[in-house]
Copies of this chain bind each other. A is one copy, B any other.
Amino acid sequence: MVARAAAFAVFAVAMAATAAAQKKPDEVIAYRRSAMTMIGWNFGPMSAMVKGKIAFDAKEFAQHADRVAGLAPQVLEGFAQGSDKGAETDAKADIWTHFGDFKTKLNDLIEQSQAMSDVAKGGDEAKMKDQFKKLGGTCKACHDKYKQD
């Protein structure tokens, strides 16, 4: 699955290059912000379940996990070259000067969100909670370095 996610990520970057040729920076920024909004929407109840704030529902958790796994590669496309300037963005300028590191962190998100979806299909609550923490770690690692407060 990791290999599949990585191969997919390479493909996604190639596609991003194509898309970037046709899209205005504002459109690219709107796309990535939309992807983040949708990931956040799905992440919220997963986090609340892991923290015990709402009842754990394995089926609903798995559904959200599947959504996040589908959305994660789309974030990468939303950072197409040329989208460093344009509409309002929380993306720090460091992204563009450290793009290799940034891309590695986004690939971590893609891999761990795919792993989250796979684990959630098994329905084991303890494993799901454990993998969710790994997934959350990939968000934090990137946000700490590349997202404005």
Contact = CB atoms under 8 A, between A and B. Distances in A.
B38 A74 contact: yes
A37 interface: yes
A89 interface: no
Given A11-B63, A15-B63, A22 B38 contact: no
Interface string A20-31: 001100010011
B22 A45 contact: yes
Contacts of A34: 33-35, 37-38
10 contacts: A15-B63, A18-B45, A19-B41, A22-B48, A23-B41, A30-B37, A31-B41, A33-B34, A34-B37, A67-B74
